Amino acid sequence: MSRKFHNMVKLHQNQVFTLALYMLRDRAEAEDVTQETFIKLWQRLQKTDEEIKRAWLLTVARNACIDRFRKQRPISNEAPEPVDLEDPHFHLEQDQLGAWLKQAIAGLKEPYRSLIVMRDVQQHSYKEIAQMLEMSMARVKVCIYRARQQLREKLPEAELV
């Protein structure tokens, strides 16, 4: 069972961490959420033989991120802050548009934020996303459309950064 768990860690750790990082915009918190998610995976693996898929992991990670938002701060609806060029993680970015987008995505409301990450960063299909978030395909499409619209509206700000 431990071997199975190790394989799943190797296979999915980056996906889980990416979702958490884009949602929380904080490496330490994203690492904690990733760890929490895999602890839940381990507990579940011990209880059941059923095949656990990536979708389950991402759903658990997303819920953990949302819980953190609820506990720590209200969900932000504000425009993203300008890119902090002193932040080493952003300093590593080759593309300033990419750095700005990360901030802009984190500034989106839920479920827009996780939908954009799942669709446009992690390249999941609409069908997969609909299953993960227990939404209809139509609703997923509408939300992604709205999320992109919001990002497009803010795009001119990126050119000023």
Return residues touching other proteins (CB under 8 A): 1-2, 5-6, 9, 13-15, 17-18, 21, 31, 34-35, 38-39, 42-43, 95, 97-98, 100-102, 116, 120-122, 138-139, 141-143, 145-146, 148, 151-152, 155, 158
* Min dist. Cβ of residue 51 to other proteins (A): 18
Q: Which is nearer to other proteins, 33 or 59 (CB)?
A: 33
What CA–CA distance (Å, rounded) separates 122 from 6?
A: 22
Q: Which is nearer to other proteins, 120 or 130 (CB)?
A: 120
What CA–CA distance (Å, rounded) separates 98 from 91?
A: 11
* Min dist. Cβ of residue 85 to other proteins (A): 17
**Amino acid present at 71:** K
Helix, strand, coil fractions of the chain, as percent rounded to 5: 75, 0, 25
What CA–CA distance (Å, rounded) separates 56 from 128?
A: 11
* Min dist. Cβ of residue 146 to other proteins (A): 8
* Min dist. Cβ of residue 67 to other proteins (A): 19
Q: Are 145 and 111 in contact (CB under 8 A)?
A: no
Q: Which is nearer to other proteins, 59 or 158 (CB)?
A: 158
Inter-axis angle of helices 2-24 and 27-47, to 10 degrees?
Answer: 150
Q: Which is nearer to other proteins, 53 or 148 (CB)?
A: 148
